[in-house]
Amino acid sequence: MNRSLSAFASVVLLLFVLTDPAASQSKIAWINSEAIMSQLSDATDVQRQLDALVNEWQTELKQMQDEFQKSFDDYQRRKLILTETRRAEVERELRELDQKIVQFRTQKFGQNGELFQKQSDLMKPIQDRIFNAIKEVALEDGYDYIFDKSGQILLMYSNEKFDVTSKVLERVKTMTSTPATTR
């Protein structure tokens, strides 16, 4: 919902800029943040770390699911010969195992899970550098708006002369790996 609201607000802003006579004098540029991120070694290193973490967690999750499936299949084969008490006990164990799987998935991959937190912690310094480079380029070159066309914003046409992706990338590469200070 938040992304669609942000995309809607961006489209409304773009329509305002394109239709308002006062705003039509605005200088607009665009970047491709995915292209910038893919060319930054620290961003690709972070992505590799995150991918390794996801693979590790998916392996754990698969083991848990396999254990559940094995227990469930075993229960299905034996449930007719189990006593009522033992059957209820095994069903309870299966529900607990299923809950454990759901809890693990939510803890690791949920909306506020460990993956989201780790991604946020590791990417924030890189994103701050990019944002600061965009701000510097915009101020130096007099841009009123710089859009990121790699996101959810629907951009039907963009003149290549307004693409400042390479300039922002060069600026980010010249910055140190620590977040730049506001000037």
Cα distance between residue 83 and residue 173, in whole Å: 69
The model carries a pTM of: 0.68
Residue 181, SS3 per DSSP: coil
Q: Which domain holds residue 5?
A: 1-183
Tens-level pLDDT at each residue, the chain (183 residues):
445 545 555 555 555 555 555 545 778 888 898 999 999 999 999 999 999 999 999 999 999 999 999 999 999 999 999 999 999 999 999 999 999 999 999 999 999 999 999 999 999 999 999 989 989 998 898 888 888 888 776 454 556 777 889 999 999 998 865 554 544
Beta strands of the chain (E only): which ranges?
Answer: 28-31, 145-148
Number of folded domains that form the chain: 1
With helix as H, strand as E and coil as C, how does 109-158 read?
Answer: HCCCCHHHHHHHHHHHHHHHHHHHHHHHHHHHHCCCEEEECCCCCCCCCC
